[in-house]
């Protein structure tokens, strides 16, 4: 099977912190369709891994441009962040299965660490756009308030419960100081037996939270994970 790729032009860049930027992309030709929660594998010739690295799409399908929000972690992400408006980017077609199913009829609980919030930004915007009636809660953890920049825009979405945790600086409302704990999660969930949980962050974060949820009685089939590396 021949692998299909997409070519994009960077038409805007938003700098959130000295480590994080959002790239607005315009497709060369017809824009490939995608489902909120999917990702693009960015391919950079001369960089390892040669097969590219996956970055979740942080825009919703209904929005005009496709966006990738990238944090500087290593050489690969650094090379992406060095690109300028007008530069091109080669990616795979959108892919992935990290999103709520229609069968998930209970509460939807999204738990993110750092840049792991990106697929949830897309999902939550899309659920609001289509009028999805399921209760939704987002718990997100960041080291600083500045890194929690998505919280402000998501707070504008109706009927979304947001719990923002900051771990490395003193904070005031609406943020909480400290990490996401099983007790904090339980405080936000009305019915743990019917809720569906989505975890996204580092491999270490998703593994620890998966184990914590299992220990408080959440069944494995209620938990979906996506780890960043």
**pLDDT tens digits, one per residue of 137-174:** 999 999 999 999 999 999 999 999 999 999 999 999 99
Helix (H), strand (E) counts: the chain: 5, 12
Q: Is 67 left (phi over 0), alpha (psi -120 to 50) or beta?
A: beta
Q: Is the pLDDT of residue 1 over 80?
A: no
Q: What is the pLDDT of residue 228?
A: 83
Whether the model clears a pTM of 0.85, i.e. scores above it, the answer is yes
Which residue segments constitute the domains of the chain, with CATH numbers given? 5-92 (2.40.30.10), 108-228 (3.40.50.80)
Number of other CB atoms surrounding residue 31 within 10 Å: 16
Q: What is the pLDDT of residue 3?
A: 61
Q: Is 149 left (phi over 0), alpha (psi -120 to 50) or beta?
A: alpha
42 confidence band (pLDDT: 50, 70, 90): very high
Q: How far apart are CA 94 and CA 40, in angstroms?
A: 5
């Amino acid at each position: 099977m021949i692998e299909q790729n997409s070519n994009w032009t960077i038409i805007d860049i938003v700098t959130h912190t000295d480590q994080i930027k959002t790239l607005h992309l315009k497709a060369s030709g017809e824009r490939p369709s995608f489902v909120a929660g999917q990702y693009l594998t960015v391919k950079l010739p001369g960089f390892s891994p040669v097969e590219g690295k996956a970055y979740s799409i942080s825009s919703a399908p209904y929005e005009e441009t496709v966006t990738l929000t990238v944090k500087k972690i290593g050489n690969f992400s650094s090379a992406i962040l060095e690109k300028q408006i007008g530069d091109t980017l080669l990616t795979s077609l959108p892919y992935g299965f990290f999103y709520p199913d229609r069968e998930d009829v209970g509460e939807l609980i999204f738990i993110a660490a750092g840049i792991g919030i990106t697929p949830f930004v897309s999902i939550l915007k899309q659920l609001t756009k289509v009028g999805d009636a399921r209760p939704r809660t987002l718990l997100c953890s960041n080291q600083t308030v500045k890194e929690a920049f998505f919280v402000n825009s998501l707070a504008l979405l109706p009927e979304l419960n947001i719990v923002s945790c900051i771990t490395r600086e003193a904070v005031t409302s609406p943020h909480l100081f400290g990490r996401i704990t099983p007790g904090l999660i339980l405080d936000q969930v009305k019915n743990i037996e019917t809720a569906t949980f989505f975890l996204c962050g580092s491999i270490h974060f998703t593994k620890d939270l998966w184990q914590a949820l299992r220990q408080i009685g959440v069944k494995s089939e209620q938990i979906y994970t996506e780890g960043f590396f």
